[in-house]
Structure 1
């Protein structure tokens, strides 16, 4: 319920009482289950980014052609974002509400995701398969893929798989030698 509230009205506009009423718990009872509203935000964002990291690590751990691995990274990341669109929106809008400690931990997880993308790009560049590999390219790719959280609507006739196929074609047509 907190995900729905944070995604719809925002972290700052959501009260603990509202979270409790959506879960049929009184505010006092809710605090038995959570430490703070910020802790709920942290758990939402941590879980989503850990899923993105697990998917990226699974792809990068495989042997194989870096072109195919980059395509798989795109597929996996888009699938995760499509399934966790609300969490991504919360991250974009409200991650700054995390404590410094949680912000640092979240940034570390996000950096590990980016490191996976950079390693595949580097591998492809060293093998002569990609025209370029640098942090700007990795940031651009992740920014492009992450942006689907802002415009993708599952009920509008385009699937996450179709979006991934289009992104794959666009990216690989631009990078592959």
Structure 2
């Protein structure tokens, strides 16, 4: 049922997708969705939470690693692009429909997203403290994550695009732009 909802929300949008559409696609009776999930918003919450937790767990692991900040930044970019490539539809849903969440769901998603941003900010701040990176304020983190999330709108593996190659190109560009020593990139 979650997979079917992801496909429908990505194609039509949260607001244009009805419970009946999801149940029809999942070959369930309408009451089954309410029994298993609760509401259409709860289903959206599960989709966005699961993707964001995946992004957060990877970012936290990289932030805690003993690598130097440039390697961590490279690893963050690689992980984020590869995660987006494997969760492209969820990212598209988050970009378009996250504001459909209300109350506790909206607050919890925002908390998860802030934690992801904090991982990136910590890595950039560490790089600045060690003299490896310049200008690492929150605008840079927001710009980086915004740019990376947009990969979901154009990345297509069926056209021969590789998540690894895409991540490598983006990482080179970012590191050249933020590095204090261009010889290191």
TM-score of Structure 1 vs Structure 2, range by shorter chain: over 0.9
2:130 counterpart of 1:127: yes
Distance (whole Å) between structure 1 residues aligned to residue 30 and residue 89 of structure 2: 24
User: Could you tell me whether the CA contact under 8 Å between 2:33 and 2:39 is conserved in 1?
Assistant: no
Q: Give the CA deviation at 1:108.
A: 0.5
2:41 maps to which of 38, 41, 61:
38
Q: Give the CA deviation at 1:29.
A: 2.2
Distance (whole Å) between structure 1 residues aligned to residue 54 and residue 165 of structure 2: 21
Q: How many residues align?
A: 177
| SS of alignment partner, residue 129 of structure 1 | coil
2:28 counterpart of 1:22: no
Q: Give the CA deviation at 1:158.
A: 1.4
Who is 1:155 aligned against? 158
So what's the TM-score if we normalise by structure 1? 0.98
Who is 1:144 aligned against? 147
Q: Give the CA deviation at 1:30.
A: 2.2
Distance (whole Å) between structure 2 residues aligned to residue 35 and residue 105 of structure 1: 17
Q: List alignment gaps of at least 5 residues for structure 2.
A: 181-185
Q: Give the CA deviation at 1:100.
A: 2.2
- Misfit runs of 4+, over 4 Å: none
Superposition CA RMSD, Å: 0.8
So what's the TM-score if we normalise by structure 2? 0.94
